[in-house]
Structure 1
Amino acid sequence: MKRILLLLISLAIFGCKGDKSNDMEKSSEPKTDSIMDEDIIPDSIMGEEKVDFTVEEANKLAELPLGCINTEYPNKLGQTLENAEAMGEPKELHPAFYGCFDWHSSVHAHWSLVSLLKQFPDLEKKEQIKETLKKSLSAENIKAEVDYFKRPQSDSYERTYGWAWLLKLSEELQTWNDPLAEELAQNLQPLTDLVVERFMEFLPKLNYPIRVGEHENTAFALSFAYDYAEAVKNQELMELISKRAKDFYLKDDNCPVSWEPGGFDFLSPCLEEVDIMQKILPKNAFNLWIQDFMPELTQEDFSMEVGEVSDRTDGKLVHLDGLNFSRAWVFYHLANKYPEDFKHLETLANEHIAYSFPNLMEDSYEGGHWLGIFAIYALKQSRAGE
């Protein structure tokens, strides 16, 4: 009976924006040990669980993307070669996003610098950050990125993880009231439009969602793309994402959360699904859905052990630090949007961040080039409820 009611509610509100309580904000050799470990560990977690995201921590976290955006090697290109002429140096192929080991990591490194500047306008290295962004996100560089995506063998390049982060970068620029942001968003727009077009073409053809804890996770991509569509009022993209999320997930029951985490996970398959559904369903429908899908989340004594990393020099095993940050941001989303039902998840989010945050500067380059960005996104969500 509950499922029938949920389906009726969902059909009745298809295309409706729902009752969102959180409005979109308007508002050389690589080295990862340039900052001493004790410098990156704020006093707030030396005996407490919550990491206070202050300008001091923002200054330290900014060093991570600044340290990799212009670092060309090591590099994982991930390209399909149509011929010998398609080969090239990373900076030649991707003049905007060649650093930070791979394309998507470079994209979210740029996002993190924009996000930090928006949240903390008085960062110590704000001028260096602005110059870095202007140099990378020039109109000429973005044109070259578009040309790469239009290569015959690049239709699926960075699908869908890199696409999602590109839209997150665009969203961050377009919701930042700053002349620099306006300039950079305009430069980025041709690539943004191309990625939106790719989403619009691909999602109707995807018959089954990809339910893994790594890059291909469909729910993660839908969630980030929905944020972008909502921010820029792209109703067509919002409706497509909402429809596909319902197609994929509305009938899901009893997510096997006890199977998580997988050894290489940096996303939670169960929680990423929760994240997109809380965005597209109104409160009453979401409440019914969560009771079928993951009812334990509503219990005040719900617990989930952090993902434990055994070797932070292993680029795959260190994914579990990323899992802790991505779980945390989903917990914060729920606690901020529906505090009457999910406020207790803040404590769990804090625990996950507190486990992995002190290790950001200990990682090899395999972890250091991206984990700070996940931390920044999770900490941003922790501040959203203040």
Structure 2
Amino acid sequence: MHLTQEQVSAFAALPLRSLRHEYPNYIMHALNGPQDVLSPRALHPVFYGCYDWHSSVHGYWLLARCARQYPALPQQAEIATLFEEHFTAANMQQELAYFTAPGRTSFERPYGWAWLLALAQELESWPHPRAAAWLAAMEPLVADIRNRVLNFFPLLSYAIRVGTHYNSAFALRLILDFARHRKDAELESAVVAAACRYFIADSNYPAHYEPGGDEFLSAALTEALLMADVLEPDVYVDWFAQFLPSLPDVDRLMNPAEVSDRSDPKIAHLDGLNLSRAWCMKRIARRLPEHDAAAATLTAAAQRHIQASLPHVASGHYAGEHWLATFAMLAMEAPA
């Protein structure tokens, strides 16, 4: 499957609509007093749409990526207008103030943190004449999140392996990309150290227990993808063979999850699982030798997962439409 400009345009249409869509809104909000009883947009003048904060962040990431990679995209002007409207120094200062208020140490940790850094990376790569200004407005928040990452992972004694927002491996993977893009040796070292501390000794991973009923990430595959970027190629091949030694036989991992109700915001996560699995599978396969049977198994499984959920990214249900296009973009892109 090859990603076409028509598909990219369809993906971009979803966050273009949702990023200004304030309600319904799922707020994870620690109130420090009655003054904090505010609307989503009053709390988050940039990241108030797309149902929740992190989906808003990666909705902007998706738009920047689509605009950067597809210069002929018909929504170029609309995307630039949206960034110009929201990515101001004053708006970003308010976003930063939310993080630094008392009692919000764990807000959006680590999923939202990772996507915020990924968004910064995408803006830094985008040759739009205003992208540098939008990034500059966001830079104080980026610096704050970077410091939070450096402080948090040394304190996290055990990896969080759930297939939802708290997953450690997925966040570390996005943060590692950002660190290497910026040539940030301190951040890269911290991510690599955390990944090795959590995952280097894993073997015979019980992937047959996946998926859980509300998961949009595979704990097994996100870990395997992270380690593919942490370990040297020859070391990784041996690690992966021990990690998932019976890969072709793990039917529940190699076949798409069934989505019984796309109007349910938790069950709809399973479409995201199928797409994020495909993203991981395609990239892990590229890290394995061509003759390795696991590479062919993963490549074929990725196609099944894409076919199962790509047609449902624009399902007519906001439960999925506010976020799934991001994971569809990841799934469909050709791995480097």
TM-score, length basis structure 1: 0.83
Structure with larger Rg: 1
RMSD: 1.7
Amino acid at match of 2:165: H
In structure 2, which of residues 46, 64, 67 is the aligned counterpart of residue 96 of structure 1?
46
- 1:1-386 aligned within 5 A: 50=1, 52-297=2-247, 304-338=254-288, 340=290, 341=292, 343-344=295-296, 345-380=298-333, 383-385=334-336
Structure 1 stretches lacking a partner, 5+ long: 1-49
CA–CA distance in 1 between the matches of 2:248 and 2:284?
10
CA–CA distance in 2 between the matches of 1:310 and 1:298?
25
2:153 is paired with a residue whose SS is helix
1:189 is paired with a residue whose SS is helix
Query: Contact 1:175/1:231 (CA < 8 Å) preserved in 2?
Result: no
Shift of 1:326: 0.6
Which residue matches 1:19?
Answer: none
Shift of 1:384: 3.3
1:76-135 CA-to-partner distances (Å, cap 9, x unmatched) read 110111111112111111001000000000000000000100111111111011110121
Query: Contact 2:224/2:284 (CA < 8 Å) preserved in 1?
Result: no
Amino acid at match of 2:276: S
Shift of 1:363: 4.4
CA–CA distance in 2 between the matches of 1:298 and 1:227?
29
1:50-101 CA-to-partner distances (Å, cap 9, x unmatched) read 3x21111111111100110000111111011111111211111100100000
Higher relative contact order (CA 8 A, sep 6+): 1
Query: Contact 1:296/1:302 (CA < 8 Å) preserved in 2?
Result: no
CA–CA distance in 2 between the matches of 1:339 and 1:359?
33
CA–CA distance in 1 between the matches of 2:252 and 2:145?
38
Aligned residues: 332
TM-score, length basis structure 2: 0.95
- Per the alignment, do residues 302 and 309 of structure 1 end up closer, same or farther by CA in structure 2, a change over 3 Å counting? closer
CA–CA distance in 2 between the matches of 1:339 and 1:141?
48
1:361 is paired with a residue whose SS is coil
CA–CA distance in 2 between the matches of 1:259 and 1:363?
31
